[in-house]
Structure 1
């Protein structure tokens, strides 16, 4: 998708004044989110020619100048996509990095908020200047609809890749929510606020720790409203008893879950699940929730396994981890990312930026730890609890600051180039690798048996049998045959100037 004319800041170190400027011209080189990461500048210079007692003034255009990319944005985005590939494909072999079954936070639980954080940073830079507000709003809506379409196509049940060569979805059971759908809704909310209050924005923020908050108070008010809606609904909404059906051995079984309470934060009777059951319908929720890996559900916990004979009924129930109420809470992740982008825009000194980012990051971590270990609000990805927002946003801020220090301050760019390449073509790598579309295509070409494919042969003979370990072989396959492979592909596409943008 063509985004409105927009800007991102150069971070060259040789000429600070020139590199701190912004341009309104589109550049050919764009990142995975369709946002310009370079700027072009065409100015005029007054040339004075003196002939005798007369001076002649001539205006001549300067050569277009480009500044370096904001490499940290691409590297952070690439890290997030690489983490998604790792935990999605190696999480079954290593349950400790897979999503936490309920309370707690694992490596997989950082992926979604990291996505939303970097979307927020990019929004702040993209909408720094907007020539026509109406066009910007139109393009925000169009991009949101595209993300929703791809999200439903990839996670709604239509695609069965990579293991199943069939396709198609029963509309009675289509899943309406998912990763891209959540990103789309958070993007729309945050981007519209950023666009619609453009005239009220301060062009210059004094180097004060709090002015960047007051200058963008409406963004924080929007995030606070989302926080209030989530908290009030979570703790005040009455959750009644509910039932669900399970098809087992060609027969229908109905299970009941007893609730009749408010403010419950456990798997069975929380308001997050109740809202999704009422809004979407229980058939349209995710059918394999991670809570089935809890000790109450399986003896194989924290891994997957058969359900215990005495497992509670809700262990078999569906639950939507990217549902409506939790997406409202996720707006805060995008809002915090926007704040980090505002700091990047208005504070020109590296140390001042890092001071703002790191202090906020550690502050959020401290709040989350206090809330979690006092049992006030446990860290919970499935509910997208407030402590989870603070913990993951704080971690994102610290990692982002570390990348900025290493890549854009110290200039250690080469070790992170593979992440930059992935980040510049994040949508392509997400679809082909994280969603298994490319592997599904390769699996379509088999010899004698659908199980006898190139993917299976590489997994079995190049990794698992060589290392004599299915767990280690699976991990190495994901690292080299998926993450490294797609980093190289993304690097080649970058050299060719090919990007997939929505």
Structure 2
């Protein structure tokens, strides 16, 4: 009897040990809502201590996404006052130039995590296709020319001049390509088991999407012949002036004759490109560079031409940013301790960062956001990896979460804040209620009397308005919505 009892107890202990072992060896998924569980599950952290492990959600994911939205609001609405943080007129990198690659980086991280919860390839393909369509739809509405928010109280677009490209359209393309590759290589496949080697994570998953994008971009950029091209500008709302840009070159990386612009002119048509490119602040166009100013008398004709900063060929290059983000997500899934993850992330981040700097300062491939050059991919992806690692140390390792809660809240409702704040839809709604004159609205009154007049500076007043009346305001709104468990997901 006693012997039977001992054997039964030993068997029970063995079963509990087996369950505990399985818990340590698998990645635990935790979510905020049911919708997030389906779309973007996040792994929990496993502490260094192997016997008494604690688990919690990786808050860095939301905080980094929130940081990206905050940067977008800051540079979009304060960049006009402080051109040093606005997009670089051509070569170089400013604060605004980090926004797009940071977006694509965190999209890649999210893809790696979300696909662990999708039961079948068919379901995965349907989810990817539907989300891509939604992103393109909202991109066309917000940046295609239909919306004139926040200042112009009108809507509608002439289809002859609709802009087919934009921020959400680029995200849609990158998301579709990298998510489809991830779906076909992971869903329904056996769980990847890593070797003990330090580089095993690189061989466990295919970088085929990023590699193919890199090869296509490099070949077209340096081999495609760019002929002369023409465009027309309506001046004084009456006279239509025609200009011709002389090219006839290959591999040119300047504003006028690069392959990126040529591809967009051929695919979309010159009438469907962005009409206010940042190169208007280029030193060849104005003596006020990098600020806006009157055109030089000897300014080349291309200074007045349209150019698409989110064009087709540059978006192909952007696929590499999403691929790097997926790799960071795979590291998060497969490595169980802080030190293991950080070794991978920091080494890769600094590696890409240094490669980008070397390519730029040796003039081999300049850092250029408009072209989405290889050096730009490396430099910004490296910066994203370093910032992501820094957030991870501060928030998830050291536990300094409270100072970054506002970023988490914004990150959880990133689409809502992007549409309402970064795209000015909420401000446009408020501007629609004015007294006698469209300038007599609540938004204009707050800007002028609460910020600009108080500080006797349009630049400083604009910056403070963006920080407090936009970023802080939407952080509070996002926090309230989080408490109510309300999220806008695509």
* TM-score above 0.5: yes
Q: Name the structure 2 match of 1:397.
A: 385
* Displacement after TM superposition at 1:25 (Å): 9.0
- Match of 2:435, SS? coil
**For the residues of structure 2 that align with 1:210 and 1:301, how far apart are their CA atoms?**
45
Q: How does 1:310-459 map to 2 (within 5 A)?
A: 310-459=298-447
Q: From 220, 245, 267, give the equivalent of 1:233.
A: 220
* Displacement after TM superposition at 1:28 (Å): 2.1
* Residues 1:446 and 1:129: Cα distance change in structure 2 (over 3 Å): closer
* Residues 1:439 and 1:16: Cα distance change in structure 2 (over 3 Å): farther
Q: Name the structure 1 match of 2:201.
A: 212
Q: From 37, 41, 46, give the equivalent of 1:36.
A: 41
Q: Name the structure 2 match of 1:52.
A: none
**For the residues of structure 2 that align with 1:492 and 1:298, how far apart are their CA atoms?**
46
* Displacement after TM superposition at 1:265 (Å): 0.1
- Match of 1:266, SS? coil
> Is 1:246 matched up with 2:233?
yes
**For the residues of structure 2 that align with 1:86 and 1:27, how far apart are their CA atoms?**
27
Q: Name the structure 1 match of 2:148.
A: 160
* Displacement after TM superposition at 1:200 (Å): 5.0
**For the residues of structure 2 that align with 1:260 and 1:397, how far apart are their CA atoms?**
39
Deviations for 1:282-307, whole angstroms, at most 9, x for unmatched residues? 00000000011011101221111221
Q: From 126, 148, 151, give the equivalent of 2:114.
A: 126
**For the residues of structure 2 that align with 1:213 and 1:123, how far apart are their CA atoms?**
17
* Displacement after TM superposition at 1:69 (Å): 2.3
**For the residues of structure 2 that align with 1:17 and 1:453, how far apart are their CA atoms?**
61
- Match of 1:450, SS? strand
- Match of 1:73, SS? helix
**For the residues of structure 1 that align with 2:25 and 2:310, how far apart are their CA atoms?**
38
**For the residues of structure 1 that align with 2:215 and 2:323, how far apart are their CA atoms?**
14
Q: Name the structure 2 match of 1:287.
A: 275
Say whether the 8 Å CA contact 2:452–2:462 is kept in structure 1: yes
Q: Name the structure 2 match of 1:222.
A: 209
**For the residues of structure 2 that align with 1:310 and 1:16, how far apart are their CA atoms?**
73
Q: Name the structure 2 match of 1:491.
A: 479
Say whether the 8 Å CA contact 1:136–1:195 is kept in structure 2: yes
* Residues 1:319 and 1:274: Cα distance change in structure 2 (over 3 Å): same
* Displacement after TM superposition at 1:391 (Å): 0.1
Q: Name the structure 1 match of 2:48.
A: none
TM-score of the pair, normalised by structure 1:
0.89
* Displacement after TM superposition at 1:37 (Å): 3.8
* Displacement after TM superposition at 1:221 (Å): 1.9
**For the residues of structure 1 that align with 2:274 and 2:314, how far apart are their CA atoms?**
14
* Displacement after TM superposition at 1:20 (Å): 6.9
Q: Name the structure 1 match of 2:285.
A: 297
- Match of 2:403, SS? helix
**For the residues of structure 2 that align with 1:440 and 1:123, how far apart are their CA atoms?**
33
Long gaps (5+) in structure 2: 1-19, 45-53
* Residues 1:201 and 1:298: Cα distance change in structure 2 (over 3 Å): farther
* Displacement after TM superposition at 1:18 (Å): 4.9
TM-score of the pair, normalised by structure 2:
0.91
**For the residues of structure 2 that align with 1:491 and 1:475, how far apart are their CA atoms?**
23
- Match of 1:95, SS? coil
- Match of 2:327, SS? helix
**For the residues of structure 1 that align with 2:408 and 2:37, how far apart are their CA atoms?**
10
Deviations for 1:187-228, whole angstroms, at most 9, x for unmatched residues? 010000000011556522134321111010x2x122111100
Say whether the 8 Å CA contact 2:27–2:333 is kept in structure 1: no
Q: How does 1:44-59 map to 2 (within 5 A)?
A: none
**For the residues of structure 1 that align with 2:282 and 2:38, how far apart are their CA atoms?**
36
**For the residues of structure 2 that align with 1:134 and 1:211, how far apart are their CA atoms?**
29
Q: Name the structure 2 match of 1:6.
A: none
**For the residues of structure 2 that align with 1:38 and 1:494, how far apart are their CA atoms?**
20
- Match of 1:302, SS? coil
* Displacement after TM superposition at 1:68 (Å): 2.7
Long gaps (5+) in structure 1: 1-14, 40-65
Say whether the 8 Å CA contact 1:189–1:331 is kept in structure 2: yes
Q: Name the structure 2 match of 1:44.
A: none
